[in-house]
């Protein structure tokens, strides 16, 4: 029986095979999943689950949500996308949303990281300091 440690090691190896120039290649992921599920070797479900977790974490790492109090101009959106690509690497997908509750500024969420430059966040930090 395969140990959890071996399954995680195998999943990381398969995951690295799916990276092309630091970007996750969707066709490679599909082929790996089909081969793992088709082989039905011992521990294949645990291996597929761990591999799926790694893919999900990688996708989250390359997805950004930008919220602002008012709609951003096209120039500012392009600048934000360029900055995020420079910080997080190529292949980051960005979505923009309007949230009037922010009062002003913007909030950027990439995976579990939150960059809060909004007035709402500043007021909340000021309230917590008292």
Task: Encode pLDDT of 25-40 as tens digits.
Answer: 999 999 999 999 999 8
More confident residue, 130 or 60: 60
pLDDT digits (tens, 9 = 90+) for 59-108: 988 899 999 999 999 999 999 999 999 988 877 899 999 999 888 889 99
Coil, strand or helix at 127:
helix
Beta bridge partners of 109: 65, 114
Where are the strands (E) in 2-112, listed by range? 19-20, 23-24, 63-68, 93-98, 106-110
């Amino acid at each position: 029986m395969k140990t959890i440690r071996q399954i995680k090691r195998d999943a990381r190896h398969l995951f690295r095979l799916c990276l092309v120039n630091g970007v996750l290649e969707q066709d490679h992921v599909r082929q790996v999943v089909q081969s793992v599920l088709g082989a039905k070797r011992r521990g294949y479900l645990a291996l597929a689950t761990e591999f799926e977790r790694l893919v999900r974490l990688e996708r989250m790492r390359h997805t950004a949500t930008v919220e602002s109090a008012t709609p951003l101009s096209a120039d500012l959106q392009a600048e934000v996308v360029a900055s995020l690509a420079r910080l997080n690497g190529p292949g980051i997908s960005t979505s923009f949303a309007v949230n009037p509750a922010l009062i002003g500024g913007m909030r950027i969420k990439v995976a579990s990281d939150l960059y809060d430059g909004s007035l709402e966040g500043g007021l909340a930090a000021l309230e917590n300091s008292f």
